[in-house]
Structure 1
Amino acid sequence: MRLTTLVGAAVMLSACGLNPLGDAKNAASGYDPDADVTLTWWTGQTTESEDKAERLAAEYHSLHPNVTIKTSAGATLTDDLLTKLSAAFTAGTYPDISYAYGSWAGELADSGRTQDLSDYVLQPSFGWSDFPESARQTATTIDGKVIGVPALVDNLALIYNKSMFDDAQLPYPTDDWSWEDFRAAAKTLSDPANDRYGTAYSVAGTEDTTWHLWPLLWQHGGDILRGKIPSFNSPAGVAALETLRVMAVDDKSMYLDQTDEKYSPLFWSGHIGMIMSGPWELLQIANANLDYGVTRLPGYRGDHQTVSGPDLWVLFNHRDPNRAGASRDFIKWLTSKDVDARFNLALGNLPLRSSEKDTLDFTAYVGEYPGGKAFFDNLANAKKSRPTLAGYSEMSRHVGAAIAKVLQGKADPDVALEQAATESSDAFR
């Protein structure tokens, strides 16, 4: 989903990592499944999904009467959860389970408060390989600790307005499109004088700005980091950013969104022909009654890699094996094939597990959101993930600022990315 960068909270979380709470991998050692336990679950959900979460918590309690689960959204906005978690670590009031954006995973792992589920998820009954690889990577730190379980999976694909293509007498995008094809179509679709653009990009400098660059970087053979050293400023990164610059500056076919919040509504209302976005758009598109299509991202030399922004259920350690064990059991149940189909699919999200494609719930989901099948299939193109490493949020802020400068014609790609790499060099020490 759309992600923000909360650097101040990240710094506080990293400071918490100086006092880890015992053996995170064996946090559930001695767990008694019959012991009376009360768990706190920060769901990070909207009102509608919070109601579903409460019902699922009650259902689990009916199956396990000794386990009481207290649900709370955790914060008014999911974006605020990282700040609230940081404060709760200091006060000792943090939950047993919390929703978390994947971009926070490195900071949360560095807090020293998370469980390490690396052995638990490999138990055959858990079905770890049933989750998309990119989501498993996000839940796993660079030293192999698994701090949570995927809560939501997604990816970036190309969504296009069929009516705008019809009006311009252009053929619809295909899964085989190159970036040259994309650029040509965007230029033809654009009429800035009448507020019509071929495509759009966020220049707010947030994670929404940053993560849209990563697919192009990977397609050109680049990496975000080499170890703990920024490498996005490589020739591959410069070429990736230049791909976007020519559309924004030379062609003026790219609407530049200063807020992160405008380009989607402009697409829904027929002012933008194509956006690189995720399955969360489908509900709003359905409400707008827009005739649309979804393909995988344009590719470079046949490589159509995308990026996934999975969110996590992060499990925390309270030095209580019964709370640790019960939280593991609950999340295993919540993310099981049958229960997830009633939670994520019912909310219009992609299924967490590949095995859900054979369920009646998935058939109903695709019927309601026709683009959902394309997004589900596109998970196979999410071959890499953003690094689960403390410091990613700080680096993202610098990269986002560099992208914004370039797309607004204020800097060249090589200079801007080199500056961002220099500014990010201390983030991972």
Structure 2
Amino acid sequence: MTAEPRAPGPPSRRGVLRAGGAGALAAAGGALTGCAAGVGDGVGADGRVTIQMWHGQTDLAAKVIKSLVAEFERSHPDIRVDLGGGVLADAMLQKVTAALAAGSYPDIAYVFGSDLASVARSPQVVDLTAHVQRGPTPWKNYWAPARDAVTVNGRVRALPALLDCLAVVCNKKLFAEAGLDLPAAGWTWREFTDTARRLTDAGKGRFGTGWPGTGDEDTVWRLWPLVWDLGGDVIADDGKSIGFATEGVRALEVVRDLARDRSVYLDPKPGSEQMYQVFVSGRMGMVLTAPWQLPDILQAGMDYHVVPLPSFSRRPMTISGPDTWTLFDNGEARTQAARTFVTWLTQPAQDSRWDVEAGSLPLSRRSEDRPAWRAHATRTPGLAVFTEAVSSARVRPVHPAYPRVSRALGQAVVSVLLGRSSPADAVRACADESNAALLIPR
């Protein structure tokens, strides 16, 4: 991703999507159109408005959001933010779907960027287009991936909550033992697979790299930069078929080469925790990951090197999986209060604090220029590589059919990793399921 799910911490920090969940929202579509507003207007006898936020976080990120809410309430005594209820971000889609169908839903929810198009089918989702154009939201300063991830059919349907991107983290010790130079920006996927092969030592239980093997979005989002760099896209221009029928084959050939060389650790469990444990334990040379992994790498005491993703063209290309703060209409008073809060939350002063303490990248250039972020980037080796890579990042399409495309491609990637399908056969099978999903009216 992602938005979006920090490993080995909560999957929500990675911006990933549990692809099967969107089907529940589609199935509930008939109930969404006529559902009533949430219970109560939120205005107390003293005129104070109470809004409910399902923040989706756990551990450190939850502590940060609670601290930010306390700060907001001190400066906005007429608004109270209730953080009760809700679920972790991985289960948020199903929770929100059920709440919308029941007519009792929060004012704000942490929704994965990949889920936003499905959620935004509900008329209860607040349209923020006019708000970001005229209000204090630093919309024009947001990085393009942050803007793209919250825009559905030309309308702004949420505010960005988290920004990340993929790069490669290398174990310097293993490179030295293998007699290999550390990679630099502009390297290729052929160089990546060759390096992974040379880092692999079966006798020592050492792998060149790793790949999630569950077939979910964590498996899939690593492949999109290869497709985009080759000139393909997730969905073709006609909107009726996949845009990677040819490019996907070549991208999967990279996966095939890793599997053929036995240089890739295939993580069989959701969340990629085992893959990251193998890396921080010193038994993997390179890992494709996002900045939320750096604290664990630092804690492990690893001497590491961060480099941008390889490409076929030697041009920079990566993926960002932003997650969102999605607002729901519970009447004018609560909606206005919710807009006030998320606008405050995404201002550079608060955003930079969230980024530093909870593991995101700055949403905007103004956030990146804050002293807190500058100091954090200086003391965190390699973090600047991720920040710089955002400028070349793309996001997955905000499209209601994306979960089914992702599911089909996830199966294709796993079948190639396991040696059960050739890249060409895997893409053909993916196309059959994905194209059928894209023919369903939006």
Which residue type is aligned with residue 403 of structure 1? V
Contact 1:3 1:101 in 2 (8 A): yes
Query: Does 1:328 pair with 2:342?
Result: no
Distance 1:232 1:404 in 2: 20
Aligned partner of 1:3 among 9, 13, 16: 16
CA distance in 2, matches of 1:385, 1:21: 32
Which residue does the alignment assign to 1:13?
25
The number of residue pairs the alignment matches comes to 414
Equivalent position to 1:148, from 158, 161, 179: 158
Match of 2:399 among 389, 392, 395: 389
Letter in 2 for 1:244: V
1:92 counterpart residue number = 103
Deviation at 1:6? 4.3
**Are the counterparts in 1 of residues 242 and 434 from structure 2 also a CA contact under 8 Å?**
no
The one-letter code matched in structure 2 to 1:129 is: K
- Write the mapping of 1:308-323 to structure 2, written as runs, cut at 5 A: 308-318=320-330, 320-323=331-334
Equivalent-residue separation in structure 2 for 1:369 and 1:346 (angstroms) = 13
C-alpha contact 1:43 1:73 (8 A) present in aligned 2: no
The aligned residue for residue 276 of structure 1 is 288
Q: Deviations over 1:49-71 (max 9, x none)?
A: 22222222222222222211101
Taking the TM superposition and a 5 Å limit, the aligned residue runs for 1:150-299 are 150-226=160-236, 227-249=238-260, 251-259=261-269, 260-299=272-311
Give 1:84 shift.
Answer: 1.2
**Contact kept? 1:16, 1:110, Cα under 8 Å:** no
Distance 1:369 1:153, change over 3 A: same
Compute the displacement of 1:81 (Å).
1.4
Quick one: distance in 2 between partners of 1:155 and 1:420? 25
Inter-partner Cα distance in structure 1 for 2:68 and 2:154: 31
Q: Secondary structure at the match of 2:279?
A: helix
Provide, for residues 142-195 of structure 1, a one-character-per-residue CA deviation record: whole Å limited to 9, x for no partner.
x21211111110001011111111111111010121112112211111112321
Runs of 4+ that moved beyond 6 A: none
1:42 aligns with 2:87: no
Deviation at 1:308, TM superposition (A): 0.4
Rounded Cα–Cα distance in structure 2 between residues aligned with 1:126 and 1:2: 22
Tell me the equivalent position of 1:373.
384
Deviation at 1:73, TM superposition (A): 6.6
Identical counterparts, % of pairs: 36
Contact 2:150 2:156 in 1 (8 A): yes
Give me the whole-angstrom Cα distance separating, in 2, the residues matched to 1:72 and 1:48: 17
Please tell me the residue identity of whatever aligns with 1:287.
Q
Greater shift after overlay, 77-86 or 394-403?
Answer: 77-86
Measured after TM superposition, the shift of residue 111 of structure 1 is 2.9
CA contact (8 A) 2:15 2:323 kept: no
Which residue number corresponds to residue 27 of structure 1?
none
For 1:17 and 1:344, the matched residues in 2 are separated by: 35
Once superposed, what is the RMSD of the aligned Cα atoms? 2.0
Tell me the distance in 2 between the aligned counterparts of 1:381 and 1:228.
24
Q: Report the CA distance shift for 1:86/1:128 in structure 2 as closer, same or farther (over 3 A).
A: same
- Check if 1:400 corresponds to 2:410: yes
Q: Tell me which of 132, 149, 152 is aligned to 1:121.
A: 132
Question: Cα distance, 1:339 vs. partner?
Answer: 1.2
Match of 1:69 in 2: 81
SS at match of 1:39: strand
Distance 1:116 1:285 in 2: 40
Decide which moves more: 99-108 or 289-298: 99-108
Distance 2:34 2:390 in 1: 35
Instruction: State the partner residue of 2:3.
Output: none
Q: CA deviation at 1:228?
A: 2.9
Alpha-carbon distance in 2 for matches of 1:423, 1:413: 16
Counterpart CA distance in 1 for 2:341 and 2:422 is: 50
Contact 1:16 1:111 (C-alpha < 8 Å) held by counterparts: no
Given candidates 48, 57, 60, the residue that maps to 2:72 is 60
**Structure 1 unaligned residues grouped into runs of 5+:** 25-30
Whether the 8 Å CA contact 1:5–1:394 is kept in 2: the answer is no
1:173-220, Cα deviation, whole Å (9 max, x unpaired):
101211121122111111123211111111210101111110000010
In structure 2, C-alpha distance between the alignment counterparts of 1:308 and 1:296, rounded to whole Å: 13
The one of 411, 417, 420 equivalent to 1:410 is 420
State how far apart, in whole Å, the 2-side matches of 1:347 and 1:339 are: 12
Name stretches of at least 5 consecutive residues in structure 2 with no aligned partner.
1-13, 38-42
Checking the alignment, whether the CA contact within 8 Å between 2:15 and 2:322 is kept in structure 1 is no
